[in-house]
Every structure is written in structure tokens, then in C-alpha cells.
């Protein structure tokens, strides 16, 4: 019989998708260049040339039977070795290929990580503001996602609420730093406080609590910001990485899980990922993409444009009177709306062809997200629209 | 907590994997050319040149932001259109892009199809001999896979047993023709009998029963064999296709679901696939691969070698006294073992460096599978080993 549950999910509105749909229609009317579409987190810079060259060389020179052949369930060993070596060098942690599992992007990684460390009915905590897809990612495993309310002052962790919500049933903490949508990096101080709590609670409850660290924005960190390596602070850390943002390859679905080699069950968890794959139809990312990213493992696209865009927007938003925490990285900024209901605020912004995503679906009502992964000249042109929007709609502020 | 269920799955032995591991070790001792490794269904011919050229051209000429950009959850519309048009032309059925969902190979397709039409506890029937991964594919959805015993005389469907096993709780029938491991194509007569039963039972039970048709070997059909199109006989058919075997791209994980446009819920089922994806971390196959297969949609690798290999092996096996149904396609043959326990039979074959997979894991004890996707010269050289094996181990037959 048709699965009711999935049928009913179709009734759920995605605000981002609707906004994107509206922007597409509007672009047909007034031209794409006149729509300030800040709705989607799609990288706006091309992949580095080295990647394209590497793929062409593989296609021209490699035996196609090997190049396109079955990858072992855990990933191509030679690729996993290169990933491990890169992580080892960068973080001074003893990674080997046995702690690496190649995945279809971060979504594939999280799908495996949550299943590996959560039994039915157990809880995964995450911190608002958070990526809305975490809800289906976790809830479809039989686990339960619970949201720790935001610390809107800094968008660091709200520890008071965390202490209230963590309990015997907590299996894992899902962390996303640099954060979508706030752009904030959790400081070393935050990570220390978090891992201290987890150590204490794990001892109290008599079972491990895992950190699942979703790190697609790891390579997009702005000047002067220090991005702490969570695995250095906490053994039971499962890193979920994607090359989508760092190499501008979101459509290629390529990433990996790296379990901290100091986690006592690291090798077991990776082996388990192979079993989890069988039930969800995962069977590895594309073999060509695995070979391709291995060739440029320490390279990124030219992501410097995102910091330029951020600075332009941040300055103007402050000037216009917005309350806003300056991002440490990513290509998002998450200011407070100028009225209580960010949905109404975003609706009004559409009149000025500004596509701004209200914060409700990120678990943080009253705020809104700007995805500034667009050309800098467009960010500059949008400033006038922001000014007009604010002065017309909120004249008495 | 570490998920017990997946941990315990690690204790399950995979006979195929073990045999492949043994073959790899043995190759180190005596040279790869001397090991007759018939264990794995990995295509032995390269992808057609047109595909490689198409990929290189895409990489050289296409905007990388578009080429590697996010694919919509249901697949790239232009690609889905090309798939639909090809199916429409070939089968004279009114496919449009709205009945197509791009997947990570057949595994990804089946993962979605079963979830779409099976509620918790409902049953999916399949026919022995069957691809062993169907068990985790179905059982991980909350559904239950039940195996209809084989008709070992012809490897068509055992209708008597089907009538016994089908019940109010049957949600779908999972069909694989051309079949792995038997190589048999279900005849038009078989399909008619099957769909007649399903029509009758659906009416009796008052709910739809779906056919999930797993068709990765669709393009590998031998001379004179007619491959019936199941969708022409049954509206509620969900085709799960993969380019893995037809284009020799198993590592690229590219395929699709095509719901029969005459199925009243076709468009709904495709939309539901997008929701199912969210919970299993699927998020589309590689965008480059989607564009790539679209460029060669009606092409295949040169799969003619498989029929040549089949004929050589079949003739020799008959000569040696094996009871064997001649395959209609694929690159598998499934003879009866020369003793009751095919595991012992396969164990003995290893002494002659013949890697033969016992039929138990295909739900058909007493038989064994030969995967003859190897170079023809190797098939020819293996005949001597087969002869020696049979004459030495079974002298009194």
C-alpha cells in the first residue's frame, strides 16, 4: 500500500523551496539580474581548474573498467588513504583508511552516522539555529531530533538549555560549525564547555555520547577566525564532511565520514557503515568523483569572494540598524528581523525583490537568513534595495 | 548507543565476498591469470567511447557551476526528459519526466520503490533464485521479504507456491528478469500468468499490489530471446533501472525509477520518492553522471562478449554432464551442483582455482552461479579446469 507517511510529508511546505520558486518566476518578469535571490546555499564560484583537469586526465588515461568499476562498500581504498593522510597531517591525529567511509555528500554521511550510534527512540540533540533537513535526517532513522534553543546573543551554544535537555536517552549531539544559517564558528571555549558536559554526562549515564560534527563549511572561514578541531577535544567524534561547498561540487554528492582514530570504536563504526549502506541503497559515491577529489584533496575553489560579500552586507545591515552577529565563515548571515514575525518581514522584502528566508524553519523565529553566495556586484546592487525596503516599510525605527 | 542491529549484521558471512577475498589472495600466489574468478558480477567490457567523449566535452565546455551544481531532488529535468523520451519511443508508453526519478543505481531505486509502496509489516514477495541483497533492501524499510521457492526446471515462476504465499498483506512483488543468478528471462506467458494472478488478488484484497521490476540486465539479452515489457502487461509497475551493467558503470551509481505512466498514482509515487530521499541521505546521483548518461541514452557497451562466453560455457557444462538451464541473457549461468550440498561442491572447485558461488544465498540450494563477465580467453582456459575438477572429484557420475 502507498506509504502514508511519505505521502503526508508532501503536504509540508518548504519555505526555502517556495521562495526559490517565486524568485524563478519573478526573474522571468523582470530579468534574473534584478532579482536578489538570497534563498539558496548554492556555491557561486566554480570548482578549481585542477579538479576539471584531473577528471579529464582520468577519463583520457585510466582504464575505464577500473575507473568506473564497483567501489568497495566503504570506499576506494587508495582514495580513503589520501583522505586519511590529509586529515592526519592537518590535525595531527593518527587517521588511517580504516577510520574513513566515503559518502554521498554530508547528507549521506549523516544518514550513516546517526544510524550507527542511535538506537530506536534515542535522542539526538542539535542547537538552533540549525539546518532544517536535520529533522528528516534523524527522525527517519527511528531516533528523535530535539532542538536546544538558540543563544541569540552570540549564536554560540545555549548551555543552560543544553543542561536541561540532555538526559539518559541522549545518544548524540549534532553540531554544525561553521554554522548554517548563522555563519558562526563555535569557539574553543564553547567546544571545551560542550565536551566537558558530555564527558560528565557520559560518565553519569554510563554510556558513550557521540558528537556528530557536520562540517561542510570547514574551508570557508574568515580572516582572524580560529576553527577548533572538535576531534582534538573529544574522542567520540564522527566528522561528516562534504566537498559540496569547499570545491563547489554540490551536485556530485561526494563526501566522507571520518571517525576520530582515538574513539575506541572507530573501526567498528566504519565497518557498521557498510552494513547501514545495504539497507538505504547508498552503495558509495561515484567512483570517478572519489578519484577526482583525491587528486585535489587539499585544494578549494576560490572561496575568498564569500568574505568580501559578507563584509559588504554586514556593514550595510549595521548601518540600516539591524541587530546582527558578524559571521565567522560560510556564506550565510542571520540578522534579526525588523518585526517580530520574520515571515511577514520576508514577505514584505519580496516587494523589493529581496529573497530572505525567515528563521522559523531554522528553529529561530524572528531572524532571517541571507545566502550571499552570489556575485559581489549583485550584493552591491542589492544594498539600494535593502535601504529602500527598510526606509519604506519600517520608517519609524 | 552503538546500534546493535548493524553491529550484529557484521557477523553475517557473505559467501561471495569471502570467495572474492580468497581469489584475491590466491592470485598473489599463482598469478591473476591462473585464478578463474567467476564470483563477482563486475562488467568486463569498457564503457562505450561515446560516453567518455561526452564527459570530457561536458567538462571542457559546460559552465562548471551548472555542471556540478545541485540537482533537484527528483533529478535534473532535462535528463529526466531524455530518459522519458527514450522509454516512450521504445515501449510506446506515454512516459514524461514526471514519471522518472533519478537514482544512485538500482540499489538506490529499489530503496525508494519499496519504501513508497510498503507500509510497516507488509510483505514483498520475490522469486528464488534471487539477488541476496534484496533481503537487506526490503527488510530495512520495515517491510518483510518473503521468498517464493524456485521452479528449478525452467527458473520461470513457481506459480503454485506464489498462490500459496500471496495474501492480504502482500504489498509488492519484486521481479528480476533477466535474472541474477539464473540468466533466465521471464517469458510473455509467465508475465501474463503473473499479472493475471495479481489483478485477481488485488481485486480480492481490495488494494493495489505493485510489481517492482529490477531491470539492470535489460540490455543483455541473447539472440532470439524476446524480453517482454512488464509495464505493457501491468499498470502498477515500478521499473528500477541501472546503467551499471549496460554501460559498464557500476561504480558511478547511476540509474532511475520509471513508474508506468498508466499507473494511476505514478506522479504521486515519484513525488514521494523525493521525500523518501530526505530520510536516507540519497539526494540524487552525481550531476555529471546524470548529464553523461543522457548523452548516450540508447547506447550500450559492447555486451556481445557475454553471449559468446555463455555459449562456450553452456556447451562444456552440458558435455560434462551438468543439469543446466540455458541463460537468455545477463552474464550468469546457474547449473545444478554435482552433489547435494553446493557449498561442498564450491569448496572442492577452489582446489582447481574455480571460484563458483553456491546457490544457497540466492535461495536455491544445490545450484551454483558462474559469473562469466571475464575475458573470453579466460573462459576458454577455464574449461580444462572444469573438466579436471569434475573428472577428479566426481569420477563415478
Same domain (yes/no): A143, A250: yes
CA nearest to B45 within chain A: A65
Q: Which residues of A touch B279 (CB under 8 A)?
A: 111, 136-137, 139-141
Mean pLDDT of B378-391: 98
What is residue B296's predicted lDDT score, i.e. its pLDDT? 98
Beta pairing partners, A239:
A213, A258
Q: What DSSP assignment string belongs to B32-50?
A: GGG-EE-------SPPPHH
Q: Which residues of A touch B40 (CB under 8 A)?
A: 70
Same domain (yes/no): B122, B236: yes
Same domain (yes/no): A172, A320: no
Distance CA B62, CA B266 (A): 33
Q: Is the pLDDT of residue B41 over 80?
A: yes
Range of the domain at B386: 4-47+302-393
* Contact flag B281-A111 (C-beta cutoff 8 Å): yes
Nearest Cβ partner of A116 from B6, B40, B105?
B6
Q: For a pLDDT cut of 90, what percent of chain B falls above it?
A: 94
Mean pLDDT of B140-167: 97
* Contact flag B286-A285 (C-beta cutoff 8 Å): yes
Q: Which residues of B touch A282 (CB under 8 A)?
A: 104, 107-108, 280-282
Q: Is the pLDDT of residue B90 over 80?
A: yes
What is residue A385's predicted lDDT score, i.e. its pLDDT? 98
CA nearest to A123 within chain B: B1
CA nearest to A54 within chain B: B59
Distance CA A18, CA B384 (A): 66
* Contact flag B109-A281 (C-beta cutoff 8 Å): yes
Mean pLDDT by 10 residues, chain A (397 residues): 91 83 93 94 96 98 96 95 98 98 97 97 98 95 97 98 98 98 98 98 98 98 98 98 97 98 98 95 95 98 97 98 98 98 98 97 97 97 98 92
Query: What are φ and ψ of residue A255, in 5° steps?
Result: -165, -165
Same domain (yes/no): A202, A255: yes
Residue B75's nearest CA partner among B99, B55, B93 is B99
Query: What are φ and ψ of residue A116, in 5° steps?
Result: -70, -35
**Run of H or E including B221:** none
Report the length, in residues, of chain A: 397
Residue B93's nearest CA partner among B263, B267, B246 is B263
Q: Which residues of A touch B63 (CB under 8 A)?
A: 46
pLDDT tens digits, B184-226: 999 999 999 999 999 999 999 999 999 999 999 999 999 999 9
Give the distance from CA B153 to its chain's centroid: 21
What is residue B396's predicted lDDT score, i.e. its pLDDT? 84
Q: Which residues of B touch A374 (CB under 8 A)?
A: none
- How much of chain A is helix, strand and coil, in % rounded to 5? 45, 15, 40
* Contact flag B140-A47 (C-beta cutoff 8 Å): no
CA nearest to A253 within chain B: B286
What is residue B16's predicted lDDT score, i.e. its pLDDT? 84
CATH number at residue A14: 3.90.1150.10
Distance of CA A279 to CAs A274, B172, B281, B282, B330, Å?
Answer: 10, 17, 12, 12, 25
- Asked whether residue A62 is domain-assigned, the answer is no
- Asked whether residue A211 is domain-assigned, the answer is yes
- Asked whether residue A59 is domain-assigned, the answer is no
Q: How many Cβ contacts (< 8 angstroms) between chains A and B?
A: 239
Same domain (yes/no): B122, B255: yes
* 3-state SS assignment for residue A4: helix
* Contact flag A115-B43 (C-beta cutoff 8 Å): no
Same domain (yes/no): B350, B234: no
Same domain (yes/no): A79, A201: yes
Contact (CB, 8 A) for A263 and A117: no
Last residue within a domain, chosen from B274, B295, B316: B295
What is residue B20's predicted lDDT score, i.e. its pLDDT? 86
Same domain (yes/no): B30, B131: no
What is residue A295's predicted lDDT score, i.e. its pLDDT? 98
**Run of H or E including B296:** none
Nearest Cβ partner of B282 from A110, A207, A281?
A281
* Contact flag A282-B104 (C-beta cutoff 8 Å): yes
* Contact flag B103-A7 (C-beta cutoff 8 Å): no
Distance CA A172, CA A175 (A): 10
Contact (CB, 8 A) for A14 and A345: no
* 3-state SS assignment for residue A265: coil
* Contact flag A276-B137 (C-beta cutoff 8 Å): no
Distance CA A93, CA A53 (A): 31
pLDDT tens digits, B127-146: 999 999 999 999 999 999 99
| Residue of B281, B299, B302, B303 to mutate for A, most A C-beta atoms under 10 A | B281
Query: What are φ and ψ of residue B258, in 5° steps?
Result: -125, 110
Nearest Cβ partner of A6 from B42, B249, B272?
B272
Nearest Cβ partner of B1 from A63, A119, A283?
A119
Q: Which residues of B touch A248 (CB under 8 A)?
A: 64-65, 68
Nearest Cβ partner of B107 from A56, A67, A281?
A281
As given in the structure block, the three cell numbers for residue A71 are 567501489
Same domain (yes/no): B265, B366: no
pTM of the model: 0.97
Last residue within a domain, chosen from B245, B277, B295: B295
Q: Is the pLDDT of residue B14 over 90?
A: no
Q: Which residues of A touch B248 (CB under 8 A)?
A: 64-65, 68
* Contact flag A253-B283 (C-beta cutoff 8 Å): yes
Q: Which residues of B touch A118 (CB under 8 A)?
A: 1, 3
* Contact flag A248-B116 (C-beta cutoff 8 Å): no
Q: Which residues of B touch A286 (CB under 8 A)?
A: 251-254, 285-286, 288-289
Q: What DSSP assignment string belongs to A340-364?
A: S-HHHHHHHHHTTTEE-EEGGGGT-
**What one-character DSSP code corresponds to residue B100?**
E
* Contact flag A269-B2 (C-beta cutoff 8 Å): yes
What is residue B305's predicted lDDT score, i.e. its pLDDT? 97
CA nearest to B52 within chain A: A59
Listed range (A64-73, B15-24, B55-64, B246-255) with the worst mean pLDDT: B15-24
What is residue B163's predicted lDDT score, i.e. its pLDDT? 98
- Asked whether residue A63 is domain-assigned, the answer is no
Nearest Cβ partner of A69 from B42, B171, B268?
B42
| Residue of B17, B43, B68 to mutate for A, most A C-beta atoms under 10 A | B68
Nearest Cβ partner of A286 from B67, B109, B289?
B289
Same domain (yes/no): A72, A213: yes
Give the distance from CA B190 to its chain's centroid: 19
Nearest Cβ partner of A272 from B6, B45, B207?
B6
Same domain (yes/no): B29, B65: no
* Residue that has been written with the C-alpha cell 577475498 in this structure: B21
pLDDT tens digits, B259-288: 999 999 999 999 999 999 999 999 899 999
Last residue within a domain, chosen from A295, A318, A353: A295
Residue A340's nearest CA partner among A326, A353, A358 is A358
pLDDT tens digits, B316-366: 999 999 999 999 999 999 999 999 999 999 999 999 999 999 999 999 999
Q: Cα-Cα-Cα-Cα dihedral of A324, A327, A331, A332, to 10°?
A: -30
Q: What is the mean pLDDT of chain B?
A: 96
Q: Is the ipTM of this complex over 0.90?
A: yes
Starting at the earlier edge strand, list the strands of the sheet with B332-333: B332-333, B368-371, B357-358
- Asked whether residue A269 is domain-assigned, the answer is yes
CATH number at residue B208: 3.40.640.10
Q: Number of folded domains in chain B?
A: 2
As given in the structure block, the three cell numbers for residue A178 are 561553521
Nearest Cβ partner of A115 from B6, B117, B118?
B6
Same domain (yes/no): A40, A139: no
* Contact flag A47-B55 (C-beta cutoff 8 Å): no
pLDDT band at B17 (very low <50, low <70, confident <90, very high): confident
Nearest Cβ partner of A280 from B3, B46, B280?
B280
* Contact flag A287-B122 (C-beta cutoff 8 Å): no
* Contact flag B65-A45 (C-beta cutoff 8 Å): yes
Amino acid at each position: 500500500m502507498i506509504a502514508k507517511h511519505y505521502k503526508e510529508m508532501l503536504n509540508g511546505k518548504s519555505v526555502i523551496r517556495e521562495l526559490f520558486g517565486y524568485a524563478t518566476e519573478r526573474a522571468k518578469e523582470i530579468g534574473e539580474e534584478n532579482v536578489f535571490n538570497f534563498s539558496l546555499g548554492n556555491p557561486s564560484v566554480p570548482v578549481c581548474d585542477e579538479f576539471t583537469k584531473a577528471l579529464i586526465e582520468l577519463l583520457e588515461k585510466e582504464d575505464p573498467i577500473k575507473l568506473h568499476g564497483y567501489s568497495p562498500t566503504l570506499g576506494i581504498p587508495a582514495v580513503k588513504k589520501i583522505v586519511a593522510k590529509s586529515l592526519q597531517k592537518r590535525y595531527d591525529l593518527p587517521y588511517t583508511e580504516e577510520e574513513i567511509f566515503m559518502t554521498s555528500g554530508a547528507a549521506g554521511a549523516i544518514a550513516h552516522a546517526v544510524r550507527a550510534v542511535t538506537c530506536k527512540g534515542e535522542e539526538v540533540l542539535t542547537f538552533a539555529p540549525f539546518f532544517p533537513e536535520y529533522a528528516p535526517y534523524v527522525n527517519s532513522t527511528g531516533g528523535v531530533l530535539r532542538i536546544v534553543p538558540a543563544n541569540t546573543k552570540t549564536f554560540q551554544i545555549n548551555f543552560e538549555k543544553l543542561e536541561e535537555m540532555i538526559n539518559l536517552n541522549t545518544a548524540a549531539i549534532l553540531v554544525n560549525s561553521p554554522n548554517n544559517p548563522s555563519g558562526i564558528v563555535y569557539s574553543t571555549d564553547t567546544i571545551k564547555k560542550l565536551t566537558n558536559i558530555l564527558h560528565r554526562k557520559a560518565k553519569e549515564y554510563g554510556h558513550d555520547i557521540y558528537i556528530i560534527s557536520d562540517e561542510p563549511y570547514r574551508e570557508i572561514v574568515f580572516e582572524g577566525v580560529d576553527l577548533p578541531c572538535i576531534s582534538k577535544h573529544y574522542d567520540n567524534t564522527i566528522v561528516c564532511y562534504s566537498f559540496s561547498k569547499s570545491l563547489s561540487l554540490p551536485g556530485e554528492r561526494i563526501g566522507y565520514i571520518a571517525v576520530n582514530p582515538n574513539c575506541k570504536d572507530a573501526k567498528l563504526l566504519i565497518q557498521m557503515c557498510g552494513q547501514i549502506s545495504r539497507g538505504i541503497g547508498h552503495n558509495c559515491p561515484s567512483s570517478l568523483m572519489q578519484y577526482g577529489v583525491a587528486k585535489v584533496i587539499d585544494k578549494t575553489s576560490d572561496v575568498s569572494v564569500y568574505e568580501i560579500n559578507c563584509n559588504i552586507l554586514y556593514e550595510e545591515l549595521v548601518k540600516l540598524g539591524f541587530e546582527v552577529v558578524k559571521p565567522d565563515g560560510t556564506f550565510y548571515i542571520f540578522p534579526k528581523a525588523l518585526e517580530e514575525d520574520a515571515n511577514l518581514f520576508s514577505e514584505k522584502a519580496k516587494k523589493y525583490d529581496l529573497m530572505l528566508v525567515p528563521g522559523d524553519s531554522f528553529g529561530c523565529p524572528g531572524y532571517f537568513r541571507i545566502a550571499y553566495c552570489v556575485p559581489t556586484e549583485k550584493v552591491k546592487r542589492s544594498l539600494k534595495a535593502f535601504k529602500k525596503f527598510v526606509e519604506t516599510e519600517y520608517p519609524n525605527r
